[in-house]
Structures are given as structure tokens and as C-alpha cells.
Structure 1
Amino acid sequence: MRWKRMTAVLAAGSAVVALAAGCSSSGNKGGGGNGTNNGTSSNGPDLSKQPKSKIKAVTMTGDCAPYGKYGKYTNATVTMYSSITDPEGQHLQDSWKQFEQCTGIKIAYTADKEFESSVKTKVQGGNAPDIAIIPQPGLLQSFATSGKLVPATDALTKEASDNWTKDWISYATVDGVYFGAPMGANLKSLVWYSPKYFKQYGYTVPTTWDDMIKLSDKMAADGHKPWCAGIESGTATGWPATDWMEEVMLRLYGPEVYDQWVNHQIPFNDQKVQDVLAKVGQILKNPKYVNAGIGDVKSIATTAFQKGGLPIETGKCMLHQQASFYAANWDKGYKVAQDGDLYAFYEPTMSDKFGKPIEGGGEFVTAFADRPEVESVQLYLASGEWATSRIKVASGWVSANNKADKNAYTDPIDKLSAQLLTDPSATFRFDGSDAMPAEVGAGSFWTQMTQWILGQSDKDTLDKIEASWPK
């Protein structure tokens, strides 16, 4: 997720382009990494391996006083390259205007929907940007291991380690060396519902997976088909079904097995993966549960993901699993709030063994140039002050930076997402298919899950995905 691909798909179905993160902001869902993402296997950064900070702090006064620690520069420009297009791209630029004015650093921002392929070409051709906002841990780690990325300084590493959980930090750490702080975040582990209709029918939000299944059974007994879903997304059709697999894997077998699965340390048709698919099938292929307000089980494959949850608005559906960015797809006139027409709850856990699993995505601010002004920009974007500044510019953006002011959020789903993403009891994992090789994560995993919805057996589905894994 990649989230960057996702938000482009969102734009096609909504005037609002939501967040960047794990997919970032320019396209369909995943896209597969390079298979090098090691999850949280790293022991974290070793400060002794990080270069010393080159920033020379100065004393500033007035509104610029907080910016003295980033230094003062004359005619300094830092180029920044990203997949995050407008309107989010403009929101980012608005968020650092005062930093530019006070430090004298001009951030020359460029967004590109073809970021993934283009940034590789730029780097290989010796035309790398000073800073790249990378939404895929696998791509970051590939640049790091090839020696292209500049390691984060000790000051930047400490700032990031103070502001994010170790799970987030590990994704930008390679062989004990840290390369870039997180930026935006997106939360997938949500189930949407209608507080209005829950109150009308006497339903309560479940806090465990078993409770959610019992609630689904009660809804079905009451004459409702509780779940609605859609996985159609053009050439990316199938990605929402892969999210179901990832969420259930985290809850059924925990983050360690999740990492093994993502890195192909267990085969795709392993018994554990079979168990996960069977658990997903208890909901998505249950004719008593789906596809509420839309059709039968097979209609999930032909329903656009943007429209998959809309029957909740009119009470034709009760539950819809989808990420925080789905808020952009609700029709106008519906109140999104804990006591409103629409809201979401944390997708419940299956046991107490694995704490509170959280799946999502985000971006990392990485550097290809070793200059003090480049470090200054990175350091500022790693701060709670910048995250708060971005939150205040416009809703629809979330940070997992625990120093960000949560009171600055005005959107209830943004606030809920931030609370979950910074929960100290949570265990965070990036969207799994984004870290898998492209042949799988953005290929066979999508297509075979679609065939599974259309009636293909569990065994054939997993065997075909396993056979597609590059040797």
C-alpha cells in the first residue's frame, strides 16, 4: 500500500484525494517491493554508525525562534521528489512555508505519478534529487544496500527514534544503519459501520474477532446481510482481498509469521496461509454475510472498491472493512462521527498473544545528497512541530509521530487513526503485498484472490500464487 497508487484510484471515484502512506499518493494499491523488506528483523539503528550532524544552529527571534536549531542559509535550495500529487502535494508545500522563510532554504518540490520507475532512472543516471519521499520500505532498502542513500545523521536518527515506535524505525534501518524518518501514515485496520443504524438495531461495536462474528450472525438472523465489499480496481483488481489476508495473518499468527510470509520464508501455500484464507472465506465467501445491498458473493469481484461500502449509508449494509482513506468516498450529506451516520472501529484481535496488530503504510524522507541544508529539511520533517503544522493545513492526513499534537486533528477518522497508530501497545506492519516481489504483490496475489472470489478453490489459489514467486 502502495498507498501512492491507491490515492490515484481514489481520485477517479472521488473529488477528494486522501492521504499518502504505504501506498502513498499517486496510484493503485500495491505494486510489490523487491522482496528485500525485512520487516522488523533489524535490531534498530546504532548511533555510533550514523554520521555526525552538520547543522550549525543559530539564534533566531520572534516567530522564527523555534527554527534556529535548523540553521540559517543563503540562497540554499533542496530538491525534493515524491509521488504525492496535488492537492496533498500543495498541502505539504504549505506546511513548510515558515521553515523556508526562517531558514532561507527553498524546497523545490516535484511530484511524479511514475515516481517508482522514474526515481530509479534518476538515481542510476546520476540525477538523483536531494531528497526523495519513498513509500516502499523495499525500495528504500534497495537504495540503501546499493550505497546510493546517505545515512541519517545522529541528530536525525535520535529525533526519529524519539518520535516513532521501533516498528516504524526498523523499516528504514539496514544493517544497523538508519536512513530516513517516516512522514505521513495510513491505517488499514478499520471496519466501517453506521452508529445510527447500530443504535436503531441495538448492535454494539465488537472488541474481539469472535464478538464480530457473533455480531455478524445476529445481523444475519435479523434479516441483514452484514458485510459489503468490492475489489474491482481496474488493473489493480483484487487488492482489497489481499488486505483481508494481511489483516487476518497478523491477528491469527502474529507479526513474526507475518514477516516470514511476506519474505517467503514460508511458502504461500503453507498450512498457516491456508488457515488464514479459510478464515477470510468465513466472511467474504459466506452467502449469509455478503454482499449486502449489492448482490451475491461473486458480485464482490465486479464491485468497484470505491462503492463497496456505500450501502452502509442507507442501512443496507452494516460492516465494511477498509482503510482510513475510504472516508473520501462517502457521499456528501452524511456525518462521519462516533455519534453520526458513519464511523469506523479498530478491526478486532483474535487473541491476546499478539497485542494490538496494526497494518498500514507510510513514506520515508530519504536523502541522496550530503549537505547541511538537506539534513535540516529532513530534521524538520521528522519533528512533531512539522507534523502538527501539516495536520493544521488540511484534514485527510495522519502522522504516526507521537510528538504531533492530536488536538490539531479536526477529522474524527484522522484522530482515531492517529490514536491507533501511536498506541504504545500496537504492533505495526506495512502492507504485506507492497513488500513482496511485483510478480506476486501486484500480480498473482491480486489476480488469484479475484479468481478465489469467483469460485476458485483455496488450494488452487494458494498453489498458483506460490508457483508465481520468482525463483
Structure 2
Amino acid sequence: MMRRRTTLLTSCTALALALGATACGNSDPVSAGGGDKALSGQTVTVAGVWSGTEQKNFQKVLDAFSAKTGAKTQFVSTGDNVSTVVGSKIEGGNAPDVVMVPQVGVLQQFAKQGWLTPLSATTGKSVDAGYAPVWKKYGSVDGTLYGLYFKAAHKSTVWYSPEVFQQAGVKPPTSYDEMLKVGHTISDSGLAAFSVGGQDGWTLTDWFENIYLSQAGPEKYDALAAHTLKWTDPSVVEALTTLGKLFKDKELVAGGQKEALNTDFPSSVEKVFGPKPDAGMVYEGDFVAGVAHDQFKKTIGKDANFFAFPAVDGGTAPVVSGGDAAVVLKDGKNAKAGMKLLEYLATPEASAVWAKAGGYLSPNKSLPLDAYSDAVTRATAKSLVDAGDSVRFDMSDQAPAAFGGTKGAGEWKLLQDFLRDPSNPKGTAAELETAAAKAYKG
């Protein structure tokens, strides 16, 4: 499985604005894994895709757990291919106790292979109290809760340059059609509307998913994600047609289709927030802010801001998310202590540690918004939490890797081909169905 978005940029600190607020409420000592150094002398091994800034910030959470329980922790970075690395460790008798899983499909794979231990009743109570039911659904397999979503991404944010908007005399739009009109006004003022990072196929899947969720609705989104609805369905063709109109409009896409296909995600952010802007907007998740802030020294909220991905054709504005779920492996040498770590991660106390460090959103509604010290982060977190059960997990992350998570193959490649030539949405839908049918069968 491929890990995308935040780990593509080890310094991607999402909304890293030195969140200064401290935590929010004390968790129950038992549910937090102790408080009386009950785990002294034990070591919990945690594996995950994080590296760089993300790993350092998660280590602060692990250190807080250690201070509370007396347990030592060891983090092992797996790189993108979590399932392969964890599988080989299990076979070698060196399984970690806890794995931070970045995709629903990987969590389901682990559970079906019998690798996971169901989460404790204590963790289950925390999830029921603090999370919208949809997060429990994505963490469960066949009705059993295996995964706790500790970190989330908000993938329904469009980032823009306030200076460009002011010069063009436009305001953040509230509908998809209005967004395209704003884009044409920006184009008339001398810049393209959107920077599109088409070299990274996952950005194109995110474009499609937001349009599809708003246009077709959550029921069809869920069916398409599970492949109980075929990609040849008219709703898919309609969404591709909507997306294709944007792709083929040279006034809207910076450098046109060819340049978009040669632009990776970091470069797409640079085209808006770098020293020589080519566009006024870039669509992607909340982690755009980290790149704009860290690499281009933009003050979030002043030099860079966002608006919610707008509703399409009268539908509901979409909220597409992603996230990392903590799971406990049966074969871990210290799985019981690992379960105590998850009980701690389920508390707002744990979430507040990373919130203070920056680059973090929590799906836990028990974490007060004032744990995020700036208005932009609070607005993003509020949007995610307020969406409740209408949140939908990234569709490609729910798919088998061969279809939804492999460079140069499946959905990534076919949407790149569509960006190159968006003239035949029906034909692209048929190709997507062929690839999906093969991957889901496998």
C-alpha cells in the first residue's frame, strides 16, 4: 500500500503555526493507560509511516504516555509500504505491538489476515463518546472495532492567495460554478486560476472524490468505494464530465494540461505561494498550509487561506477525509501494554500534545477547539468535527492498492490519462471499471 499526502513531505506540518494552547481536560488515569507508572519496565514498539516532523511530533505523544505510565516506547518508521514491512516483521517473529495504519484498505487487510486484536472496552467507550459513528465504522471490520483514528486530514479545502483574490476583486466562492467564475476572473487579471499537481495521481483522485461526493451523494460514494456500484454508472460519467470541463480549460489550469502532468504536489503549492506565483488557488488537503508556511514562509490566515470545497450542482458541500488508525497486533511481544497506549491515544489529553506541537487535526470531538491556537486551524478542525457522519474517507484509500494506491497504475494512471485528454468521460469510466474489477477481485 502506498502512503500519500502528508508523508510525501517529511516537513509537512499541516497548520504548523506554533499552536500554543495546552491540553484540554484530564483523562481518566485508568483509561489513559495508568498514571501510577504501572507499565514501568515494559517497552511498547510502534510502527508507522511517519518520518521527519510528523515522527518527532508523534514522539512527543509517546513521551507523554511514558511519563504517565512508566512504559518505554520505540517508534519504527516503515516507509510507504506498511503492509509489506509489517508482514515481514510478523513472519520474522519481530512484530511491533502497535501499528499506525494510513488506509482503510490496509486495516481491513490486517484484520482479515488475523493479525489484529479487537480494541478494549475502555477504548471503545472513548470512541463512542468522542467520535462520530463514521470513524468507528472505518475502524471496524465485520462489526468489530480494531482501529482508533488518532490523526486525520481534511481533504475538502481549497487554498488561495488573499492578495490575488483582492487584486482580482473576488471573494471565496460558495458553489462549484461560482468557483469556476472566480477562476475566470482571476485569469482575466493575469494569473491562471488553479495549480494542479497532476504528476502525483493521488491529487486527481481527490479532485474526483470531492466532486463525486457532492454531486452523487454519500450513498453512491459508499457504493462506489465498496465497488458494489460500477464505475460505468452514469453518476461517475457525470462527475468525470464536470472535472473534465475544468481540466481542459486553459484559462483555469496553470500551464495547461501538459504542465499540470509535470507538476508534483509540492510544486503545485509553489505555483500559488512561491516567489513567482502562476495561479491563485490550489486544491488539496489541510496539509497545503504546512508547505506554504514551512517552505515559502507564508503566514497562514494572512498570506494563505482556504475556503471549503464548494457544493456541486446543488448538492451538499463535501467533506472528504483521511487518517491514521492505531491498531494492536496479536503477535506483538507486549500487546497488553500496546492496548494501554491505544487507551491513552483515545483521550483528548493525548490529542492535545500533538495539537500543541502543530501539524495535526483530531477527529475526536472531545478535544476542545481552543487546543488549536490559531483561527485557521480551529476552522479546519471545526469543519471536520461538525461534519459528523457526513464525513467520507478518501475513496482511493479504501480501494485495493492495485487500483487506488499504486503509481503508474489503476485509478492514478487513468485519471492522469484523463487529465491529458478529458474528451471521453464515458470511455475513462469504462477503463476505471475494468481496472477496479480486476483489483477488487484480486
Unaligned runs of 5+ in 2: 16-25
Q: What letter is aligned with 1:129?
A: P
Q: How far apart are the structure 1 equivalents of 2:324 and 2:221?
A: 21
Q: How far apart are the structure 2 equivalents of 1:428 and 1:125?
A: 38
Aligned match of 2:22: none
CA contact (8 A) 1:67 1:103 kept: no
CA contact (8 A) 1:336 1:412 kept: no
Determine what percentage of the aligned residue pairs are the same residue: 28
Q: Deviations over 1:41-76 (max 9, x none)?
A: xxxxxxxxxxxxxxxxxxxxxxx9963553323312
Q: What letter is aligned with 1:240?
A: T
Cα gap change, 1:228 to 1:353, in 2 (>3 Å): closer
Alignment map for 1:9-408 (pairs within 5 Å): 9-11=8-10, 16-18=11-13, 67=29, 69=31, 70-71=33-34, 72-113=38-79, 114-221=81-188, 224-232=191-199, 237-291=200-254, 295-313=255-273, 316-330=278-292, 331-337=295-301, 340-350=302-312, 354=316, 356-369=317-330, 372-392=336-356, 394-408=357-371
CA contact (8 A) 2:204 2:412 kept: yes
Q: What letter is aligned with 2:13?
A: A
Aligned match of 1:421: 384
Q: How far apart are the structure 1 equivalents of 2:150 and 2:193?
A: 36
Q: What letter is aligned with 1:376?
A: K
Name the structure, 1 or 2, with higher relative contact order (CA <8 Å, separation 6+).
Answer: 2
Q: What letter is aligned with 2:308?
A: Y
Q: What letter is aligned with 1:253?
A: A
What displacement does 1:334 show? 2.6
Cα gap change, 1:273 to 1:387, in 2 (>3 Å): same
What displacement does 1:186 show? 0.8
CA contact (8 A) 1:205 1:345 kept: yes
- Shifted more, 184-193 versus 195-204: the winner is 195-204
Cα gap change, 1:195 to 1:437, in 2 (>3 Å): same
Q: What letter is aligned with 1:156?
A: T
Q: Deviations over 1:26-55 (max 9, x none)?
A: xxxxxxxxxxxxxxxxxxxxxxxxxxxxxx
CA contact (8 A) 1:226 1:317 kept: yes
CA contact (8 A) 1:219 1:226 kept: yes
Cα gap change, 1:424 to 1:304, in 2 (>3 Å): closer
- Shifted more, 67-76 versus 279-288: the winner is 67-76
Aligned match of 1:37: none
Q: Does 1:6 align with 2:5?
A: yes
Q: What letter is aligned with 1:346?
A: A
Q: What letter is aligned with 2:309?
A: E
Q: How far apart are the structure 2 equivalents of 1:333 and 1:139?
A: 35
What displacement does 1:123 show? 3.0
Residue 67 of structure 1 aligns to a residue whose secondary structure is coil
CA contact (8 A) 1:191 1:344 kept: yes
Q: How far apart are the structure 2 equivalents of 1:304 and 1:373?
A: 41
Residue 318 of structure 1 aligns to a residue whose secondary structure is strand
Cα gap change, 1:351 to 1:153, in 2 (>3 Å): farther
CA contact (8 A) 2:104 2:138 kept: yes
- Shifted more, 434-443 versus 273-282: the winner is 434-443
Aligned match of 1:60: none
Q: What letter is aligned with 2:172?
A: V
Aligned match of 1:444: 410
What displacement does 1:9 show? 2.9
CA contact (8 A) 1:420 1:426 kept: no
Residue 386 of structure 1 aligns to a residue whose secondary structure is helix
Cα gap change, 1:334 to 1:65, in 2 (>3 Å): closer
Residue 319 of structure 1 aligns to a residue whose secondary structure is strand
Q: How many residue pairs align between the two structures?
A: 413
What displacement does 1:389 show? 1.4
CA contact (8 A) 1:251 1:357 kept: yes
What displacement does 1:278 show? 0.5
Aligned match of 1:50: none
Aligned match of 1:53: none
CA contact (8 A) 1:396 1:414 kept: no
What displacement does 1:189 show? 0.6
Q: Deviations over 1:418-445 (max 9, x none)?
A: 1111114561112111222222212221
Cα gap change, 1:188 to 1:75, in 2 (>3 Å): same
Q: How far apart are the structure 1 equivalents of 2:164 and 2:300?
A: 13
What displacement does 1:254 show? 1.2
Cα gap change, 1:83 to 1:220, in 2 (>3 Å): closer
Q: Deviations over 1:337-356 (max 9, x none)?
A: 1xx121111101226654x4
Q: How far apart are the structure 1 equivalents of 2:73 and 2:314?
A: 46
Q: Deviations over 1:112-157 (max 9, x none)?
A: 2142311122234543221111111122122223332111121111
Q: How far apart are the structure 1 equivalents of 2:417 and 2:27?
A: 59
Q: What letter is aligned with 1:384?
A: P
Q: How far apart are the structure 2 equivalents of 1:282 and 1:85?
A: 38
Cα gap change, 1:459 to 1:86, in 2 (>3 Å): same
Residue 96 of structure 1 aligns to a residue whose secondary structure is helix
Residue 227 of structure 1 aligns to a residue whose secondary structure is strand
When normalised by structure 1's length, the TM-score is 0.81
Cα gap change, 1:452 to 1:406, in 2 (>3 Å): same
